[in-house]
Structure formats: structure tokens, C-alpha cells
Amino acid sequence: MTHPTTNRTGITHLPSAGHQGDYVECGCKGDGSCDPPHPLERNRFYPRKLMEVRHWQAEQRYHRGGRELLSRLGLGTGVLCGLELETTDSGTCLIRPGVGIDGRGRLVIVPQNLEVDPSQLTDCRGMPTDDVASQGTVTVALCYRECGTDLVPLPTAGCNDGPTCVPSMVREAYAVSVTLGTSPRVGLPEGLCKALITGHMPEEANPDTRRPPIPTEPDRRELLDLLHRRSCHCADLCIPLATVEFNGNDRTVQTTVRTVIRSNTELLDLILCLADRVNHCCSTHPADQPPRIAALWPWPDEHGEGLNQLKQTRELEVGFDRNMAEQGLEDPSDWFGVWMLDKGGARRLAVERSTSSLTHISAPVGGDAAVFATRFEAEAVSESTVFVVMARSRIGGPIRAAGTDQLALDADFAATGLTEEQREWLWTLPAGGNQDTSQGGFTDDVQAGPRSSLPTGNGLAGGELHIVYSRPVALPPRLLEVWPRGGQLLSEESPDRIEDWKSFIDRPRIEIVVSRALTGTAIASPSEWLRVWHAKADNLSLFKLEEIGLEKGEEQPRGDGTIRYIFRFRDGVKWFGRDEILTQLRSTGPERPESPLGREDPKVLLDADFRGTELTSQGLRRIWAGAPFPEGLRALPAKPTEGRTLYDGLPGELVDWGFTAIRPRQ
């Protein structure tokens, strides 16, 4: 039995009686399909159409031609992936598997390693010639080649004709050519990059005299079209991979002739890298930034002072970090508003620019400031009344910078708890009109005070500021510190943490510091809201996850008014020697007597919000509930808690953190 063999042309020879050679489509100069481009033709079908060979060939030619045209002109010629070229100890070249696009836009696929002798010259189809290279430079290139396969007998045409076998399939294969000389790398014309960067037509350029005169400083797109017109011609049919220079017994391989076609994702990343580089090293002036609200008086606070000041003066002083267009300041009705809300409904107050002097803020350096006055009757303010102030900015106005850029105010600052629909309804109320009671009860949704400080903004022009002035409310107790701190490695070999390590080894425990005292019921039942686990770990996963029981908490008031709670581990913990400790604090509803509630206001949950591991919310929930969890749970890794804010200004939420403890060897 004769077995198929594969040679350097990637063609499989199938021995068969009556089969002479291979069915090959491979030319050295192309077949005229690119020059000039011609319209595509496709079959038009109708009932009982007789499909002949030429019709089926036209069907293939239509789809292949369209694909190759887009590949050639849209992607270009070169290497899509792989096709790296390496030298071997014997002096041959090894071409790795890969994919390329040739000068006609055809895919050339090499599925396996291919060894080539660069001294053996070939014709353009990869067939060896009698010539051998010993001096000079040769180019190793990859070419497209077709071969016939799956031989079938052809029906005889006459009585005396013998059986003939023909290929019934075409395999799109490859060939490797080795030719004398260096193939120039396909690239941009010399001087084009310099011309595009400077934006000037080079003096040596000789434009087509049939075109209109070229302006001294043409548009860069026009300049690119003039200096590098896109040609419809085919490129070289083969894909250059490398050149080999012979100098006696020495061979030097260079891959500078190779062109790698980058994906759109890679090109976008490269463009972004270039943009960052331009901003870093080439920008002489910082880009204009949209103006922001940098100061506001009165400022809403948790003690209600801001509300009292607003009720007394009926004025708001607003400072901006850039000089503002005067029209927006003179007419604030389209972008600045004040509302009175209570249990009965809402009323929008009339706001106008005041002639009063700035007494509590001053215009920032290079910035601007204005005073806005509003009117309301003192008797209209009840115990439940809150004031909502909003500033709304849109691209193009009405409040924008006075500079030539005219950028709109960057006003983003959310601190009311009102939904977008609720805020939009407030804007629809007529300024100075009567109270609208159709959507009363907004005061239940208003958050007491902002969670961050000025200036406003997210870096983009536009957005909305909304804040609330209200009477003093009991703030929820806040989680301020945890110990051992998240992300720590407690080990006797860590000098900077040796005291923490000794303290934890002597008395294993978890400590938390909160701003205000929690209820005694919560401290006596920590397992309802605070739980600890330990596990073994390798570099990737956790194993043998076990819960550690906690004893009743100990309360230690501190001199600054905060409270430290200590929760010792119960006896009986079987340590692994190197333990990954995971802690969860769940300040979530529904509230029960054992929940972490404030002692002064037992209806307010502890404000605790920090994600200190990369475990998912569902994964944390399964661990908390004791659900079966597969071995090999992903290792934490733990994020540091030191210097981090562990609350977000709202009651409730979840905190998880982890650390590593290495116990001394027994």
C-alpha cells in the first residue's frame, strides 16, 4: 500500500491510475483579476434553469471574489497569525503554522511545521530549480496554491475512450518560494509620516497636474490622498516572511520584510497608547476642563445648621472654578432651582441673582461666584419641611464657561436619594407657583445630607447637582476600623507586624471600631451579623473552609467617643498552621433585635460598606448560609482595609475582609 506524502509545497500526492500531476492554479504574475477591478457576476435563478459547470463556477467566483476584494483592500497583504521563521542547527529554516493573506486577498493556511532549505532556489510556485544560492540575499515567501484531490472516474465520452480520473475537490494549499534578491516591505511612502504630522506638502512632491492646485496647508485627509493614493492593483502574490543573507558559510536571517496585519482591537489599543503618549509629552497646554461648582454656602450638614442659615438669609452663594458666561448667572431659572418639600407636597421657589455681596465664600482663583436669592414665607416652613437645591447642566448651555471653549458646567453631585423621575417632576413645577400635592411624601425618600464634598463633576460637561437641607437627624453608627486589618500577613517573620501577630496568636479575635454604640442584644449575639471562617490555601484556591465560633462581644469606649468591640474566638479551633481568615459583617435587613442597630436609635442599621475580597456576592452568601461549597474555592486575595473608608453614608450593607495568619511551629 502506498501512503500519501507531503512536500514543501503543501500538496498531497495521491497515487492513482490515470492521474497525471496536480490540479494547480498558481501564476507568477497573477491572472488579471485585480487590474483593473471588474464587476462581480452572480447567477440569476428562474424555474427549470439548467445549471452547467460554468454556472457553478460563477457562483463560487462571485463569493470568492467579494471576499478576496475586501480582504485585499480592507486588511491588506501579510501575516494574520503565526508563520514565525526560525533557523535550525542544520542551517535550514523552520516555518511555524499560521495564516496569511496574499496579494489577491486569498487566505494561505499552513497547518504544520514546515522545514525549508533557503539555499535551494525555486520558481514562483515553490518548485525547486537547478540553482543554489551561496552568496547574496534570498527572500523566503509564502504563496497560495491549489491542488486537486478526491479523484473520481470521469464518464467516458466515446466507445474507445479509456477511464480517466479527475479531482473532484480543490484543496487550497500553499507553496514556499525562495528567490534571489530582497522583496521590499509593503509600507507607506517615504516622507509621508513627516508630511502628515506637520500638515505641509513636501516641496519635492509632484502632484498630478490635472488636479486642482494643492493648498499650502491642506487637510490631512486630503494630504494623505494626494501623497498615497489607494491603488486597486494586486500586491505581490506571495507573502514575504524573511530574507536570508549568505556570506560563505554564514547565514543571517532578517524578518524586516514581514508585514503583520493587526486586529481592530490591537489597533484601537495602540491608538489609545499613542493618545496617552501625546498628552504626556507633546501637549504644551492642558486641555480645557469644564467648569465645576467649587463652593456653596450654606452647606447642608447633619446638625441642621445649613437649613437654619438658608431659612434666615434666603440666599445661596455659589462659587465656580472657572469664569462663567454672564447670561447663565443673570437668568438662573433654566438651570438652578430651590424646592420646599413636606408631607403634603412640593413647591418650587422663584430664584434670581442677588446684588448682595459675597460674605461666606470667595471666587476661586481664576474662577467666578454669584449670590442667588429666593423668597418664601417663614410660616410656610413646618417641622417636616426640607429644602432641595438642584443645578442642572446640559451640553451647550444654559450655564457654561465664559472662555472660547464655552464648555457647559460639570455639575454631577448626587446627595438626595430622589430618583431621576422624582427630580424631573420637580423641574416641571412652575417657579413661584402654589404647592403641588399630587406627589406628596418626597420627604421620606430624601437623604439627609451629601456623602462627599465639592467640587462637583465627573470630568465631563453636563450633569446634575441635587442636595437637601433638613433638620438634624440621627446618623447611623459607622464602621471605622477592623482588626486584624484586611490584607495583612501576620507572621513572626514580618517585623512591622510582629506585635499584631503576637496579639492575635495569644488571643485570637476580631475587633471592630464604630462611631456610636450598638445595642446590647446585637453584641451578645454576634453570629447573627458577624461571622468568621478559616481555610487552608495554595496559590490559587481555598480548602477545608471551616467556621470559627465567636463569643459575646466586649465593649470598650474610647476617648474620642467611638466604641471598640472585641469578639474572641471560641476554643476548639483546629489551626492549619497557615490560615486564611475570612470575615463577613452583614448589616442587612430585615431588622431583628440581634441586628447591628444603633443604641440611640434602634431602628438604624450600622453603616458598613466595603468589599475586601474578590468573592462574588452569591459566593459570600453561600458561605454565610453554610451551603455546600465545592473544594478549591478561589483564593481571596484580600484587599487592604487600612486607610480605607468602610462606610458609604447610608445605613446597612455588607463588609468582607480577609487576612493570613501563620502560627508558630509546635
Query: For position 165, what pLDDT does the model report?
Result: 84
pLDDT tens readout for residues 601-644: 767 899 999 999 888 888 889 899 988 766 656 666 788 999 89
Q: How many angstroms separate the CA atoms of 583 and 510, rounded?
A: 9
The partner residues of 660 in beta bridges, in order of sequence, read 489, 580
Query: What is the β-pairing status of strands 5-6 and 12-13?
Result: antiparallel
Query: For position 567, what pLDDT does the model report?
Result: 97
Question: Rounded to the nearest 5 degrees, what angle is found at the Cα of 470, between the Cα atoms of 464 and 471?
Answer: 165
Tell me the average pLDDT across 307-318.
95
Read off the C-alpha cell for 594: 440581634
**496 or 372: which leads in pLDDT:** 372
Query: What is the β-pairing status of strands 563-568 and 554-557?
Result: antiparallel
Quick check: pTM over 0.75? no
Tell me the average pLDDT across 342-347.
88
Q: How many angstroms separate the CA atoms of 585 and 602, rounded?
A: 18
Say which residues have a Cβ less than 8 Å from residue 437's Cβ, sequence separation at least 6: 344, 345
Name the average pLDDT for the chain: 84
Q: Among all chains, which residue has been given the C-alpha cell 449670590?
A: 371
**204 or 124: which leads in pLDDT:** 124
Mean pLDDT: which of 38-42, 62-66, 361-365 is highest? 361-365
Contact 77, 239 (CB under 8 A): yes
Read off the C-alpha cell for 125: 510556485
pLDDT at 123 over 90: no
The partner residues of 242 in beta bridges, in order of sequence, read 140
Q: Give whole-number Cα distances, 429 to 347, 381, 416, 426, in Å.
A: 7, 19, 18, 6
pLDDT tens readout for residues 374-425: 999 888 888 889 999 999 999 888 999 998 889 999 999 998 888 899 999 9
pLDDT at 302 over 80: no
- Letter for the amino acid at 207? P
Residue 167's pLDDT band (boundaries 50, 70, 90)?
confident
pLDDT at 583 over 60: yes
Query: For position 6, what pLDDT does the model report?
Result: 41
Query: For position 466, what pLDDT does the model report?
Result: 94
Alpha helix positions (H), 146-219 = 192-198
User: What number of helices (H) and strands (E) belong to the chain?
Assistant: 10, 34
pLDDT tens readout for residues 348-386: 999 999 999 999 999 999 999 999 999 998 888 888 899
Q: How many angstroms separate the CA atoms of 498 and 311, rounded?
A: 56
pLDDT at 436 over 80: yes
Q: How many angstroms separate the CA atoms of 77 and 183, rounded?
A: 13
Question: Rounded to the nearest 5 degrees, what angle is found at the Cα of 64, between the Cα atoms of 62 and 68?
Answer: 120
384 sits in the region (left: phi over 0; alpha: psi -120 to 50; else beta) called alpha
Q: How many angstroms separate the CA atoms of 224 and 45, rounded?
A: 44
The values of phi and psi at residue 408, to 5°, are -70, 160
Read off the C-alpha cell for 362: 470667595
pLDDT tens readout for residues 89-98: 888 899 999 9
Mean pLDDT: which of 223-237, 239-253, 286-300, 329-343 is highest? 329-343
Q: Give whole-number Cα distances, 410 to 4, 293, 406, 466, in Å.
A: 72, 8, 12, 13
CA dihedral defined by 599, 604, 607, 613, rounded to 10 degrees? 100
Residue 28's pLDDT band (boundaries 50, 70, 90)?
low
pLDDT at 135 over 90: no
Q: How many angstroms separate the CA atoms of 432 and 604, rounded?
A: 37
Contact 347, 434 (CB under 8 A): yes
Burial readout 625-657 (b: 16 or more C-beta within 10 A, e: otherwise): eeeeeeeebebbebbebeeeebbebebbbbbbb
The partner residues of 5 in beta bridges, in order of sequence, read 13
Say which residues have a Cβ less than 8 Å from residue 26's Cβ, sequence separation at least 6: 124, 125, 143, 144, 145, 146, 175
Q: How many angstroms separate the CA atoms of 634 and 639, rounded?
A: 15
Burial-class residue 622 by CB neighbours within 10 Å (0-12, 13-18, 19+).
middle
Read off the C-alpha cell for 20: 497525471
Tell me the average pLDDT across 252-257.
86
Calculate what percentage of the chain has a pLDDT beyond 90: 39
What is the radius of gyration, based on Cα positions, of the chain? 39
Burial readout 180-201 (b: 16 or more C-beta within 10 A, e: otherwise): eebbeeeeeeeeeeebbeeeeb
Query: For position 367, what pLDDT does the model report?
Result: 94
Query: For position 21, what pLDDT does the model report?
Result: 39
pLDDT tens readout for residues 547-562: 999 999 999 999 888 9
Query: For position 525, what pLDDT does the model report?
Result: 94
Residue 108's pLDDT band (boundaries 50, 70, 90)?
very high
pLDDT at 464 over 90: yes
Mean pLDDT: which of 205-214, 507-516, 648-657 is highest? 507-516
| Domain assignments of the chain as residue spans, ordered by start | 5-180, 189-227, 293-469, 479-662
Contact 159, 188 (CB under 8 A): no
List, in sequence order, every beta strand (DSSP E) within 155-287.
164-180, 239-247, 250-254
